[in-house]
Chain A
Amino acid sequence: MNNYFHSVELDAEKCCGCTNCLKRCPTEAIRIHNGKAHILSERCIDCGECIRICPHHAKRAHSNQLEEIEQYKIKVAIPAPALFGQFNNLDDVDIVLTGLRAVGFDFIYEVSRAAELVSEATRKLIHENKLNKPIISSACPAVVRLIKIRFPELCDNVMPLLAPMEVAAKMARREVREMTGSSDDDIGVFFITPCPAKVTEINSPNSSEKSAVSGAIAISQLYPELTQAMDHLKVVEPIAKSGLIGVGWATSGGEAAAMLGDKYLAADGIENVIRVLEELEDEHIRDVDFIELNACAGGCVGGVLTVENPYVAQARIQNLRKYLPVSLNHLNEKDLDLMMWEKELEFNADSFRLSDDLMEAMDMMDKMEQIYQTLPKLDCGSCGAPTCRAMAEDIVKGKAKETDCIHKLKEKIQSVYDQLKNTI
């Protein structure tokens, strides 16, 4: 777990040790020590909330530069459908896709095409009763990672299908191999990504041995070059091959609507997602067959590496979908194996557990409660932990000391002062 890759990184020079990211992190994965933020690797789900909130831009997502596609003989772009919501007055997806060709890609395979295949495969598996209900979507890697570290009982409910990004990369590779006869090593497949969680997914996949994606370029990074290329197109090539089902995956509710049933629920925004997972775990949510969860508000258009306001992007996607056919990609039965998970989702119990030894854990919890009672319960974050309870846990684990709490320190100084005063 320690060598686990994270796409969210800290620029220590820009970090001033304020508590913005500390308070915002949904998994309490950040601590501030010696005036700098540190990410607890085993708890971070790469949702990107800290990047969003940091006023000093000290958190950034590791992604690839456009130049890096040059290492490959054949350069393939697999754009996320969220990309299509980033442009004003866009009425034709092909303008974006031809723009991608103009900035250097040889071949384009929209992730929305794969999304239509995943939707069809899901419907098929549901119809054949092969899944544990309610089925939780596996498309958002931040959500899957969250389930993996915090919701052990729900691991079996996550849909065992690869996310559209991964399926798109596999399909694109196959098409390019068949078309050109090239070997896989010569083909570079780059995801045009709205979020850091996808970058992490490429580097340490949740459910496949090795990702078929070679790298990821942030939408925000590509944006200036791409818009410029789009403004100077001489002809618009007919590249787009996805319908409204695939493009709809860009926004919250799109994937669920593609189930073509009405017993579904779609939640977006990481806090809402956590609430739904908690209730699912306690079996409060019944009568729902399919659950779509997106870590970002609005869905993928709300990703921290996008450019446009998610709700504006959502309105644009809605408009773009209007004249599209329902679906342009259909599942070939023999491809289903290719789309299934290569490995089971493994629950990682270590992230929130106090100790492997039960008696020791109980002892630690007992001490934690005692320490907590002595703390001011302000959850101010000044000690470097997000809450007084987290601070108590850090003290018990030997990672913090009581006087890291400025209120406790003040008390201590006051008592020393009083003592001195009395002796004089």
Chain B
Amino acid sequence: MSNCIHLHYDVSGDDFTRAGEASGAVKKRLKALGYNTDAIRRVAIAMYEAEINMVIHAEGGFTDIDIYPDRVEILLSDKGPGIPDVDKAMQEGFSTAPDNVRNLGFGAGMGLPNIKKYTDDMKIETEIGVGTKLYLTVNVNN
């Protein structure tokens, strides 16, 4: 018996319209597994926000997802510029997104705060000029 399903997706950095593909695929799988619907929603929203962040700020990267019976663990990793001030980035409304992205309705400064809100655990490892790793956990009460 398998008690962990591992998924891996590359997040394309050059095509904004493809952001959300990985979260969509994960959502579909969680539904097929019959996960609690609230947990599916939280995973989908948090992952989507993180994917968008990767595309806006870091020209893409990859994401690894481990689905366990009682939780979903997500790693989103990029080789972007890094986050200079994590506390500031966590504030609602703070954003460094360029105007063209804001015109599309993104970059409202709710990305990281929303991710925190929808996950049970969130850890950021970031280094200027090297990249950012975001570890997320959503507990599931199936």
Contacts and interface: CB of A to CB of B under 8 A. Distances in A.
A358 B67 CA distance: 11
A282 B44 contact: yes
Nearest to B67: A362
Contacts of B74: none
B41 to A, nearest CB: 5
Interface stretch (A39-47, A54-62, A91-99, A347-355): A347-355
B128 interface: no
A366 B4 CA distance: 9
B45 A365 contact: no
Given A282-B44, A352-B31, A362-B1, 18 more contacts: A152-B37, A153-B38, A153-B41, A281-B44, A282-B20, A282-B27, A283-B45, A352-B32, A354-B34, A356-B34, A358-B33, A359-B69, A361-B32, A362-B4, A362-B5, A362-B67, A365-B5, A369-B5
Contacts of A349: 34
B113 to A, nearest CB: 14
Interface of B: 1-5, 20, 23-24, 27, 29, 31-34, 37-38, 40-41, 44-45, 48, 67, 69, 142
A225 interface: no
B interface, by DSSP: helix, strand, loop or mixed?
helix
Contact of B3 (A353, A354, A362): A362
User: Size range of the interface on A?
Assistant: 20 to 34
Contact of A353 (B2, B5, B31, B67): B31
B67 A354 contact: no
Contacts of A152: 37
B21 to A, nearest CB: 11
Given A281-B44, A365-B29, A358 B5 contact: no
B31 to A, nearest CB: 6
Contacts of B48: 282, 284
Contact of A281 (B4, B5, B32, B41): B41
Contacts of B41: 153, 281-283
Contacts of A184: none
B37 A365 contact: no
A355 to B, nearest CB: 7
A153 B37 contact: yes
Interface string A275-287: 0001001111000
18 contacts: A150-B31, A153-B41, A281-B27, A282-B20, A282-B48, A284-B48, A353-B33, A353-B34, A354-B33, A358-B69, A358-B142, A359-B1, A362-B3, A362-B5, A363-B1, A365-B2, A365-B5, A366-B5
B69 A353 contact: no
